[in-house]
Amino acid sequence: MQDLSQILPHRGDSILIDQIVEQRPDSILVSLIVGDSPWLCDAEGRVAPWVSMEYMAQAVAAFEGLMAAQAQQSQRPGFLVSVSGLVLPADPFQSGDRLWVSAQRKLGRPGLRVVAHYASLHRDDPRAGGALLAEGRFSVAIAQAEVKTKA
């Protein structure tokens, strides 16, 4: 199993996806178990539907991180530029729910380091017709050089 901390700029509890299920040249499928983090869950263990956006963004980041690793490039942070066509679920998720995220690269400008992905969140494996819960197009600018943060 791929160590997600090696391909995502996130660390610890901020990594919300659990496993890369499948990678293809232009897409990725990941799965996750909705966590019970106190910074995401309410008192009843529910996670707000807007967190879908972060699940999908992390799938996009995982795809781009894998692509960089396979090209033997250093990891570069991505910056979300825009989200369009966003549809979110009406109901919250329950801690312990298993979800699937698919992301497909739709447009890339390697020289400009801007990429766009269509991402979708599903209740079950989308390869088996899992119900669509959320979707959107995520445009990301990838930094040209490592970004240093002040300590």
pLDDT tens for 44-68 read 999 999 999 999 999 999 998 898 8
* Helix (H) or strand (E) run with residue 33 in it: strand 27-33
Residue 15 three-state SS: coil
Structure tokens at 34: 């909705």
Question: Which domains, and CATH codes, for the chain?
Answer: 4-142 (3.10.129.10)
Read off the pTM: 0.88
pLDDT tens for 98-131 read 999 999 998 766 566 788 999 999 999 999 999 9
Residue 151, pLDDT score:
47
